[in-house]
Amino acid sequence: MTPEEEIILKRFETRTRQLILLYQDTRQENELLRKQVDTLNQELELIKKNYANLKIARMIDISDQDMKDAKGRLSKLIREIDKCIALLKI
């Protein structure tokens, strides 16, 4: 093997090692990013569940308010009916 071929071969080996190291680093980074994605997906699912619970709570709250409004209207109607009955008795 000529000295020039040896130099080319050593460069090739060096570049191959660099590429392997870069591949390993990239693989570790990819693994870390996948774990982060999994964690974020879990957090997203938790947020979705919390949002659904809040929507349900809001619907119940609205229903309670509607019930209060209905009771108020009913009380007002009863008072008006009582007034009408009182006027009819006169």
- Domain spans, the chain: 1-65
Using a pLDDT cut of 70, give the percent of the chain over it: 98
Distance of CA 26 to the CA centre of its chain: 29
The highest-confidence range among 30-44, 53-67, 75-89, by mean pLDDT, is: 30-44
**Tens digits of residue pLDDT in 7-36:** 999 999 999 999 999 999 999 999 999 999
Task: Name every residue whose Cβ is closer than 8 Å to that of residue 9 and which is 6 or more positions away in sequence.
Answer: 1
Q: What is the pTM of this model?
A: 0.57
The highest-confidence range among 22-26, 54-58, 62-66, by mean pLDDT, is: 22-26
- What tokens were used for 62? 């609205």
Q: Name the pLDDT band for 88 (thresholds 50, 70, 90).
A: confident
Distance of CA 63 to the CA centre of its chain: 26
Q: How far apart are the first and last CA of the chain?
A: 129
